[in-house]
Amino acid sequence: MKKKHHIPATLCRHVLTFGLVLHVALLSSCDGGANQPVPEGPNVLIVVMGSFRADYIGDATPFLNEFASEGVSYTNAIANSSARSQSLDSLLNGVLPSVAERDSLSGMALLAGRFAKSGYRTGYFSLEDDSDEPFSPRSFDELEASLADNNALVESTVGFASDKPSHPYLMCVHIPRNDGVFGETNGLPETAVTGFVSRETLARDYKTVLTKTDTLVKSLIEGLRAEGALDDTIVVVTADHGEEILDHGSVGRGWTLYEESIRVPLVFWSPGRLTADTTAQRVSLVDVAPSLVTLAGLDSALTSGDSLFNETAGAWKSVELPRRIVISELLEGGNLQRSMSVDDWKYIGNYRWVSPNDRLTMTGQAHYKDENTEAVGVWGRPTSEELYDLSADMGEMDNLFETAQDEARLFRKIAYYYQEECGGQLLESGEGADDYNLTPETTMEELESMGYL
């Protein structure tokens, strides 16, 4: 791990400025851009599929396979949380969950505000009642949630897009997962699940769910194309998070940050604008907002992510980003965690861990307390830590934290630096700082000498 990397060091120093800029944008765009000049930029469509694992794309998803082959496909894209609201906050705000929470950005859908300020029409459409969700689709000019069925979703989306063909749009379409048997098993441990359904049945049912989603995305894209509403359009297809299917002893989402829970599809599609490409570089959903702002030719704003594209000789190209620390978080619910990955190594800090068997009695509670009834947060020293070499152990079964000491020490330093920068909190004596001789000054100096800052 002696390569040069990029840790998101500046994101915490500048995100408040970003939040203030886009908060003003939201307040000044209540008319949906009606008094703004019609922008010359492309339409933008974001399709967010529910609980869609990247490693299950294949025979069950024929349309997405073809669609991805025509666009820029990221096969190693990471959701910034396995909890829907936190993940969509990252997608629509362009900031990490802890940063959004710290700077009171949760629920603002800053991307919609940025586009509306530039004169775009903005709309959000979903089969579920997302109107009161923390990621606040209410920040879009037009909101249609709890639509009756798939046909109504396609109809409403196509109607909005084709209503003013000369006036570009930003749309987000949320396609929640059709649960099937999963509606009965979310959060259940293996011992409970296998009592009434087999692993094989779960995997088969999950593929059936993905095929239904694939068919709906196809109907949506074809409906827009038939109305000419895909002309000069950037389409992003991704997912809010993945799904546990007994990979680590449980079924569900929002409980862990293992790969099955956070690795998702990510495709940017815009024939004639973007050259088809497939890349395995590790990116995350916070990169979507700055990428769309860049591609639409809007003024850039500071975010937790980086644009995945730049323009060279009049053509847009996907870029190979500097090696970075990719972060995911669970800020509330049963398990409180933060994961950090770079190259083939991945670290998970567990601030509150609820075992699969204990989840049976905790499902439905918003916040949990530790044994001393004190609130648990994601700052301070983790109660346990994990470290995996994904090149040899993509299933994350062999925890190397105690044996890969150099890598463990490095990730502890990175976690400490992030905590000091973003959380504004330092580890106290006895919380791990003494173990590694960590201070703000020594940590920054060493990370700089290793090429991380």
How high does pLDDT run on average in the chain? 80
127 in helix, strand or coil?
Answer: coil
The per-residue pLDDT for 168 is 95
pLDDT band for position 107 (cuts 50, 70, 90)? low
The answer to whether the Cα torsion of 123, 125, 131, 137 is positive or negative is: negative
Average pLDDT over residues 353-379: 58
232-271 pLDDT tens trace: 999 999 999 999 988 888 888 888 999 999 999 999 999 9
Does the pLDDT value for residue 344 go beyond 80? yes
Does the pLDDT value for residue 372 go beyond 50? no
Q: Which fold has domain 326-449?
A: Arylsulfatase, C-terminal domain (3.30.1120)
Annotated domain spans of the chain? 15-318, 326-449
Whose CA is closest to 215, among 62, 55, 67?
62
Does the pLDDT value for residue 361 go beyond 70? no
Q: What CATH number matches the domain at 15-318, 1.20.1250.20, 1.10.10.10, 1.10.565.10, 3.40.720.10?
A: 3.40.720.10
The per-residue pLDDT for 225 is 96
Does the pLDDT value for residue 217 go beyond 60? yes
The per-residue pLDDT for 377 is 66
CA distance 398 to 343: 17
Q: Which of 55-69, 159-173, 349-363, 413-427 has the highest mean pLDDT?
A: 55-69
50-71 pLDDT tens trace: 999 999 999 999 999 999 999 9
Cβ 166 vs Cβ 38: under 8 Å: yes
Q: Which of 139-148, 180-189, 241-250, 259-268 has the highest mean pLDDT?
A: 259-268
Six-digit token string for 31: 């008319």
10 Å CB burial of residue 298 (0-12, 13-18, 19+) is middle
The per-residue pLDDT for 47 is 98
pLDDT band for position 324 (cuts 50, 70, 90)? confident
Report percent pLDDT > 90 for the chain: 45
Does the pLDDT value for residue 190 go beyond 90? no
Report percent pLDDT > 70 for the chain: 73
The per-residue pLDDT for 184 is 55
More confidently predicted of 224 and 253: 224
The per-residue pLDDT for 182 is 57
The per-residue pLDDT for 189 is 63
Torsions phi, psi for 101 (to 5 deg): -70, -40
pLDDT band for position 188 (cuts 50, 70, 90)? low
CA distance 105 to 96: 10
69-88 pLDDT tens trace: 999 999 999 999 999 888 98
